[in-house]
Homo-oligomer: A and B are copies of this chain.
């Protein structure tokens, strides 16, 4: 699977794998794809540096990238404490009641919340970037909005390509105007933050909107057949996130969560504001049901909701409270039915792609 973009990055296959786990990112790059580490959960810059160093030693020289959440709009001098103070008491009560209803134990005294998404705070993302520029990162992706102009400039000065996720042609044009190099068109069916336009429609719309910039198709892609579909739609590559969650290299916090993912069907996800405040596709759980119930409070805007629920998510994960246990994941979760190595998944992807190409050629009478 070679395109102009994959050749430019020097990878064998135009398959980009997004993952929060260093071992998965490195294995994707070793398999001939392009591994991209998600940085949003790294609160401490030195932990990110340690993991990038590990990746760098484990890709056999293959290139890799980093995904940050860099807000284009700067809010000067706002600290985490300032934001915490904006959370209404009623919302804190609702979290406490929901946890109590499912008898979720407290964290032991002295144990801090492990699940804490702070990477979208300006100062945290800036510190992550300072680390990234110390490594031979080849691609910097921005998960929400266009990256600030100075970040794009700095990346380009380091020879790093800049990508940004878009859920609509309008977002995509905005990214292009911001001087980025690659647009990831993330469809409705994707895990994590998504818009309402499905990949089948979004991909060609974005390709047209940002021409001649290369576009990666994201959302609903977890097999080689789906890769062929994304590339047929005009993408120069595909961006896969969910499919790696059940690989052997993934470090999910909870065994029960892995089992839940393996058992889930394509209708078992929901696009909900319950986790971050912005619509993000995730497993449907008693937690998302509670927040999506019109009789309860509305989720708070980002970043308040993420801070509000951080400790709750840690407690749910630590004690594996089944009805509440979830994770961002796309509709392809229905196809994730066995735990396998990244290499095995990758081999399936390339084999499935070749099968799809054979099939299309037969249908086109070129068989």
Is A359 positioned at the interface, with any CB of B under 8 Å from its CB?
Answer: yes
A361 at the interface (CB under 8 A from B): yes
A201 at interface (Cβ–Cβ under 8 A)? yes
Chain B residues with CB below 8 A from A197, complex form: 189, 266-267, 331
Cβ contact within 8 Å between A1 and B221? no
- Contacting B at CB under 8 A, from A312-367, are 330-332, 334-335, 353-354, 356-357, 359-361, 363-366
Question: A225, B219: Cβ atoms under 8 Å?
Answer: no
Any chain B CB within 8 A of the CB of A110?
A: no
Supposing A356-B232, A364-B1 touch, asked if A200 and B201 sit within 8 A by C-beta, the answer is no
Distance, CA A199 to CA B27, complexed state (A): 30
A205 to B196, CA, bound (A): 21
CB distance from A262 to the nearest CB of B (A): 16
**B204 & A226 in contact (Cβ 8 Å cutoff):** yes
Cβ of A208 to closest chain B Cβ, rounded Å: 9
A129: interface (CB < 8 Å): no
* Contact A200–B228 (Cβ < 8 Å): no
Complex contact B200–A199 (CB within 8 A): yes
Which residues from B are CB-within-8-Å of A168? 266-267
Check B188 against A335 for contact (C-beta < 8 Å): no
State which of B3, B198, B234, B363 has its C-beta within 8 Å of the C-beta of A198: B198
Q: Which residues on the B side are within 8 Å of A267 (C-beta)?
A: 168, 170, 195-197
Chain A, 30-81, CB within 8 A of any chain B CB: none
Pairwise interchain contact B232-A360, C-beta atoms closer than 8 A = yes
A-B contact pairs, 14 of them (CB 8 A): A188-B188, A188-B198, A195-B267, A197-B267, A197-B331, A198-B200, A200-B230, A201-B330, A204-B335, A229-B233, A232-B356, A233-B356, A357-B361, A360-B360
A198-B200, A198-B220 given; 10 more Cβ-contact pairs under 8 Å: A168-B266, A169-B265, A188-B189, A189-B201, A200-B221, A201-B334, A204-B223, A229-B229, A229-B230, A353-B364
